[in-house]
Amino acid sequence: MTSELITARVEDSVNRIRQIFEANDFHHLPVVDNGSVLVGMISREDINKVVQLLAFDSKNAKHGPMRAKDIMSKSPLLLDPDDTIGLAADVFMTNKFHALPVVEDNALVGLVTTHDLLSYCFSSPL
């Protein structure tokens, strides 16, 4: 689990979110409210699609300025810090997700990715 997270705020602009992805080597960005309560997730694929869409409408005439809250996946599936690796693997396989936020007492405390899971599985001797 990654516990030192970079997050977006619900009012962050699409441009700001794009900059976050460009500056970092990750594929999923949790979106939090004014505290640390998780309200959604944005993937690199999500932001790339939105940027392409906005390229056709550079003045944002139809859409207005888009924010994180407009493009995020709302109510993502969550893990609890005490959930097992097996549960995380099952959720990944069943839903074809690649990242799951870890929430404790309504606060975002980490993110588990398929990369984390594979690293764990192959770091111990077979």
DSSP state of 38: E
pTM of the model: 0.86
What's the pLDDT tens digit per position in 77-94? 999 999 999 999 999 999
**Number of folded domains in the chain?**
1
User: For the segment 46-64, what is each residue's pLDDT rounded down to a tens digit?
Assistant: 999 988 887 766 655 555 6
CA–CA separation, 43 and 54 (whole Å): 17
CATH value at residue 81: 3.10.580.10
pLDDT-based confidence at 122, cuts 50/70/90? confident
Query: Does 3 reside within a domain?
Result: no
Quote the DSSP letter at residue 62.
T
- Give the pLDDT confidence score for residue 104 in this predicted structure: 96
Range of the domain at 77: 8-123
Residue 1 belongs to a domain: no
Question: What is the C-alpha to C-alpha distance for residues 94 and 102, in angstroms, rounded to an integer?
Answer: 18
Give me the helices (H) in the chain, please: 14-23, 44-56, 68-71, 85-95, 114-123
